[in-house]
Chain A
Amino acid sequence: MRLLTHNMLSSNIKGVANGFPLRIEVEKVVEKEVEINHDFLRNIFPKIDWKALSDASRIMGYHELPEEPPEPSVLEADIEFLRKFHHALLELHLEEGALLCPESGRKFPVNKGIPNMLLLEDEV
C-alpha cells in the first residue's frame, strides 16, 4: 500500500466522527521504484492532504518531506523536491502491517500490500 492510497482512506465506521488519517502500524516496508511523471505529480498535489502524507512518510522511515506544505510554485521549479514528493507518495510501500482508526483504534490489516477496508457487520 502506497502513501497515495493511504492519503485517500479513512475509517468510515458507524459512530466515528473523524476517521482520517489512519495511523500506520508498520511491520514490513519495501521500497519499489516507480517511473516519475512530473505532470502527474503536479496534478495530484492539490488533492493530497500534506500533513497526513508528511507524517506517514516519517513513520515509514523517510524524513525528507517538509512538515509544511510547499508553495505551488515550488512544484514548478524544484525538480529535486518533486523527486522527494514522488518517492514518498509512490515508492514507499507498506507490505505488511495495519491501519488504525484514530478514534476507535480498530485495525484494518494490510497484507501483501493490500489494505482490507471492509467493515464488519456491526460497523455498518
Chain B
Amino acid sequence: MWYLCVFYHRLLDYRKPEFESLADLFGAFGDKGSSDPHSQDKALQWRLPKGHHPDSPFHFVHLPSEDIARNIANRSLLVKGIYELWGEGNDYEELEEAVKSYPDDRKLPYLTPGCTFKITVDSFGKVLSLQEQNERIQGFSYIPFKGRVNLKNPDHNFWLMETDAHETNNGLPPVVQRRIFFGREVGVAGRKLIPMYQLKTRNYLGPTAMDAEIAFLMANQAQAAPGKLVYDPFVGTGSILVSAAHFGAMTMGADIDIRVVRDGRGPDCNVWSNFKQYGLPMPIGLLRADNNLPPWRPGLKEMFDAIICDPPYGVRAGGRKSGGRKLLKGIVGPYTVPDDKRADHIPSTAAYTLVECVHDLLDLAGRMLVMNGRLVFFYPVLREDGYVENHFPEHPCFKLVATSEQMLSSRYSRVLLTMVKTSSYTEEVSLAARIKHLEFKENHLKWLENGNLHSSVFSPADTESGDSKASKESKPKYRGKYV
C-alpha cells in the first residue's frame, strides 16, 4: 500500500538510505532469514507528489504493511511522519472529491463513535494562522466523524498538510508546489532521542566525538538491534557505540590510544561513564589494538553483525599505526626495548594515511563481518567545483548500498558509506590484502607524501578564485539542507 512519508527538511542525502535500511530491518523485503544476498535488488518504490522536486520533504512510498510503516517511523530520525493518504488535491474542492471517493472500508473503522480523534494542520512553504487552521478543520464537516475530539491523546490523529512554493532559493525552482494532503497518521518520529543524547550534556567527550543525531543515523544504517554484536575499531569516547547500544545491540570497541579507552579523564569520566549516563549496557569488550596489526587469532572470522565507525581522516585527527616513524622511514633498524623498561614502554607509532587505514578497515570488515553484515563508515571527499568525486573505496566482499553526503566546508565533505557483505572472505582475498599491507609498509614514505587530505583542506584559497566563483554560481545546489 502507498503511504505519504514526510521527512524533516535536513540532511537530505540521509533520508532515503535510512528509510530503506529500516524497511529492510523490519521485514519490508520479505524473508529476513533469506541467506541469498543477491536475491533481489532490495529497494522500495517511491513516487513524488505532482510538481515536487526530489529534495521535497513529501514522498509517497510503497510498504507491505502498516506495522512496518509504524516501526520505521518510530525508529527513524529523519521521518517526521507516515500517513495513510485519504486524499490530495490542488485546492479544497479537489481534496473533498478525493476524500469522498476514498474507499469506505479504509475510512469507517477510524470514524466509529467509540474512538477519539484529532485533526492537526501543518504547512510547508507558508504559514497558517490559528484562525486559518481552524477554518480548514471546520471545512471537514463532510467526513462523518462519530467519535469525540481528544487533543491530548487521541486514538487517531488526522493531518491536513498544505504545501506551497515559497520564494525561490538561489535562483533555483522551489522544492514544492501548491498541494494539499489529508491523511491518517500511522507513525511519527520520536525526536526526543536527540536532546537526550546530545553531546552538550555528554559525560566524556573527545575532539571527534560523533554528533548524536548522526550516530543514530549510522546505527540505523547498520541495522543495530538486540542480539547483534556491533564493533567500532576507532572507538575513541564511544559516541557511536552509545547509539548502537540504545537500539539494543551488544557493542565492542578498540582504539590505538590507550589513554582514551582505558583512562579517560578520570574514574567518572571515561567510556564506561558515557554508557552509565544513559543507563545503557556497557560494551562487552574494549581493547587497545592497532587495526594495521590486529590481535585476532588466525581463523577467527564472521564475528560481528555490523562495523560502524568514523576513521581518522588526517584532517582534525590523524590516525596512528604501529612501528615508529623512524623505523618505517628506514632511518633506524628495529630496536629492542631493554627488559627492565618493557613493562611500561609505550610503543612509538607512525602516521597512518587514510588510504592504508581504509584498506585495513575493509580487510577487517571483510573478514570479521557475518554474511549480509553491514559496514558503515564515513569517508572524506574533496569538493571540486561544487561537485563530489565519486571514487569510493571498493572491496570484492562488499556491495555499496548507500552514500550520503554531509558538507563540512566549501572544500570538503564526508560521505557516509553503507556496504553490505555479499561474498565470503576467501584465501585469495586474504592473500591480496596481505600483499597490499606489505606494499604499504615498503612504501611508507611515498604514501605519506601523496594524497594528504589535511593540506588540501587547510591550504589557502587558490589565487584563481575568479574562475572558481563563476563555476560555483553555474552549479547551484540547496547547500544549506545538505548540512
Task: Give the interface of A toward B (CB within 8 A).
Answer: 1-2, 4-5, 8-12, 19-21, 32, 34-35, 37, 39-40, 43-44, 47, 49, 90, 107, 109, 111-122, 124
Contact = CB atoms under 8 A, between A and B. Distances in A.
Nearest to B337: A120
A9 B193 CA distance: 35
A34 B284 contact: yes
B348 A121 contact: yes
Contacts of A35: 281
A120 B349 CA distance: 10
Contact of B256 (A49, A115, A118): A118
B229 A114 contact: no
B231 to A, nearest CB: 10
A35 B323 CA distance: 40
Contacts of A34: 281, 284
A58 B324 CA distance: 39
Contacts of B294: 12
Interface string B289-312: 110011111101111000000000
A122 B284 contact: no
Given A119-B347, A120-B347, A121-B327, 17 more contacts: A1-B287, A5-B252, A8-B296, A8-B303, A9-B295, A12-B294, A37-B226, A40-B227, A40-B228, A112-B262, A115-B288, A117-B288, A117-B289, A117-B295, A118-B322, A121-B334, A122-B337
5 contacts: A12-B293, A32-B282, A121-B327, A121-B347, A122-B335
Given A119-B322, A120-B345, A121-B324, A19 B297 contact: yes
Contacts of B227: 37, 39-40, 43
Interface in B210-248: 226-229
A116 B322 CA distance: 13
Contacts of B290: 117-119
A11 B285 CA distance: 17
The 4 closest A-B pairs by CB, nearest first: A10-B297, A5-B285, A117-B295, A20-B297
A118 B288 CA distance: 7
A115 B255 CA distance: 11
Given A2-B285, A4-B285, A114 B261 contact: yes
A114 B281 contact: no
B262 A119 contact: no
Contacts of B229: 40, 44
B296 A114 contact: no
Nearest to A42: B227
Nearest to A1: B285
Given A8-B300, A39-B227, A117 B287 contact: yes
Task: Point out which of B284, B290, B302, B345 has the most chain A C-beta atoms below 10 A from its C-beta.
Answer: B284
Interface string B75-119: 000000000000000000000000000000000000000000000
Nearest to B370: A43
A123 B287 CA distance: 19
Contacts of A115: 287-288
Dominant secondary structure at the B interface: loop
B446 to A, nearest CB: 19
Interface in B244-270: 250, 252, 256, 258, 261-263
Interface string B301-340: 1110000000000000000001110010000001111000
Contacts of B354: none
Contacts of B262: 111-112, 114, 116
A37 to B, nearest CB: 5
B336 to A, nearest CB: 5
B286 interface: yes
Contacts of B285: 1-2, 4-5
A20 B301 CA distance: 15
Interface string B422-439: 000000000000000000
Nearest to A39: B227
B391 interface: no
Best-surrounded residue of A2, A113, A117, A119 (most CB of chain B within 10 A) = A117
A109 B337 contact: no
Contact of A124 (B226, B263, B303, B322): B322
B343 interface: yes
Contacts of B335: 121-122
A2 B229 CA distance: 14
B273 to A, nearest CB: 12
A120 B284 contact: no
A84 B300 CA distance: 23
Contacts of A37: 226-227, 250
A4 to B, nearest CB: 6
B342 interface: yes
Contacts of A10: 295-298
A35 B248 CA distance: 11
Contacts of A12: 293-295
